[in-house]
Structure 1
Amino acid sequence: FLSVGPAYLYTSTVSYPQWSQAAQTEYVEYLDPPEAAKQLEISQYRGTWLEQMEPRRARAIEMQTHTFLYWALWRTGGLMLLGMALYKLGVLSAARSRRFYAALIAVAVFVGLPLIGYGMQYNFSIDWRAPRFFLFGLQFNYWASLLVALGWIGVVMLFCKSGIAWVTRPLAAVGRMAFSNYILQTLICTTLFYGHGFGLFAAVDRTGQMLIVWAIWAFQIIVSSVWIQRFHYGPLEWLWRSLAYLEVQPFRRNPKPDTH
């Protein structure tokens, strides 16, 4: 599953020299649009809600049709199957040895991260341009990111095996509210970057973007931890379960009785 998307891109791009000039230009401009197109997109995303709809509509149609069929289906489906296999093997339930999880971390650090770093260097050297990006550039991060993800699994599972509650409980709270947190991230980021909010689209550098990511993570960890102490589920998880069971599910936790 995981190899279908990259294989499709590679095989379809190999024939690039035989394409028409118009097709080659369109392919190159997919990654590097003309300056006028870039400025138009920036102004649209910084504009009103209706002005944002044109680029968002086009991107949504592309992502849910063409990109889904040749890329997202295989990437997402492959990761789901991989996750199911890891769970069945006890990897995701902290059932394996500490040495096993340490090995996952080592592979991530000494193989995954260097490959990603080399891929970044390569992509900057070619200025992220087609066709070489699609032929080779994206392959590094695509495959090495799987190794890094396994490394993060190793880190989390070692924390779970160590029983460090101040680490595992907040992460568990975030996981139990995954649906709500996913939508909350969307609301936060569209408010920050789109024109109906603060309009910071294309105005934040890489360092600023990373700081925003960390701030959102910290905020959601704190909010999720406090919320789960008072409620059984996140708000959207509660709604989803109630709809699935066709019955209103318990929501608020009963307060502990005062023993004094």
Structure 2
Amino acid sequence: LRGFSPFDFAGAAVSWPLLVLAGLLAGLVFGHAEVLRQSVAHRRFWRRLLLASLATGLLLELHVPTGRFTTGLPHAATALAQGLFCIAAFVLLFQHAAWRRRLRKLTPLGRMAWSNGLVQMLVGLSLFYGVGPGLCPKFGVAGLAVACMAILALQAAASCWWLRRYRLGPLEWAWRSLVVGRMAPMRSKREGQV
């Protein structure tokens, strides 16, 4: 809401690896504690995470200088707090039957989260920042939100198409193959489902 300026690539070189590392560590902690598999039993944890990440995100946001998009460690911490807030909100909403039916439609996007995230980053950088036409300042916040929703809708359709044919997204498949030390199966046994 503060406006946009060209992307600071030097700051991104610091903040994005930290953000990815923090996300991987958070996933490792969540997986080890089984707070996702047993989310109802850990509802108190998810509520506390929701409130703590909201408070942290708001406090960090107050310290971001106005008039420019910031990068570096403060931006990575803010983005991490916002991401944890979204995860906690999603988990808590998913515990309600009415919301669960709606949120299940996002399953294909989630099964290809790494691949979709990379595509979003590449499309966003190439369209909205200085390496491409630099549409970010021209779109404004409302235009940028509409463009992001359109990109997400295209990714949802592409994810459904891909997962009808393959078990995993391309990056997810490469990671699984690397982790197990051999080529993981790629073709889906249940072609046509998703």
- CA RMSD of superposed structures (Å): 4.2
Counterpart CA distance in 2 for 1:87 and 1:240 is 17
Matched, 1:106 2:39: no
Distance 1:85 1:142, change over 3 A: same
Deviation at 1:116, TM superposition (A): 4.2
Identify which of 140, 157, 176 aligns with 1:222.
157
Contact 1:104–1:154 under 8 Å retained in 2: yes
Structure 1 letter corresponding to 2:62: Y
Identify which of 7, 25, 28 aligns with 1:84.
28
Corresponding residue for residue 154 of structure 1:
88
Distance 1:106 1:192, change over 3 A: same
Matched, 1:233 2:177: no
Contact 1:238–1:251 under 8 Å retained in 2: no
Distance 1:191 1:94, change over 3 A: same
Contact 1:241–1:249 under 8 Å retained in 2: no
Distance 1:238 1:144, change over 3 A: closer
Contact 1:104–1:151 under 8 Å retained in 2: yes
1:187-233 CA-to-partner distances (Å, cap 9, x unmatched) read 54456458998663653323322222222223222332343244322
Over the matched positions of the two proteins, sequence identity in percent amounts to: 27
- Higher helix content, 1 or 2: 1
SS in 1 for 2:36: helix
Distance 1:196 1:253, change over 3 A: farther
Distance 1:115 1:240, change over 3 A: closer
Distance 1:200 1:76, change over 3 A: closer
Contact 1:119–1:138 under 8 Å retained in 2: no
Distance 1:196 1:219, change over 3 A: same
Instruction: Look at both structures and tell me which one has the larger radius of gyration over its CA atoms.
Output: 1
1:57-114 CA-to-partner distances (Å, cap 9, x unmatched) read xx5xx579xx45xx555554344323322322223334343233223223344x1343
Larger mean CA deviation between 214-223 and 227-236 belongs to: 227-236
Structure 1 letter corresponding to 2:106: L
Corresponding residue for residue 146 of structure 2:
211
For structure 2, the residue ranges without an aligned partner over 5 or more in a row are none
Distance 1:205 1:103, change over 3 A: same
Counterpart CA distance in 1 for 2:108 and 2:103 is 11
Structure 1 letter corresponding to 2:108: A
**Equivalences for residues 13-162 of structure 1 within 5 A:** 67-68=13-14, 73-95=17-39, 96-109=41-54, 111-120=55-64, 123-124=65-66, 139=74, 142-162=76-96
SS in 1 for 2:120: helix
User: Could you state the TM-score of these two structures normalised by the residue count of structure 2?
Assistant: 0.63
User: Could you state the TM-score of these two structures normalised by the residue count of structure 1?
Assistant: 0.51
Counterpart CA distance in 1 for 2:172 and 2:91 is 25
Corresponding residue for residue 103 of structure 2:
167
Identify which of 182, 185, 188 aligns with 1:249.
185
Distance 1:89 1:198, change over 3 A: same
SS in 2 for 1:150: helix
For structure 1, the residue ranges without an aligned partner over 5 or more in a row are 1-37, 42-58
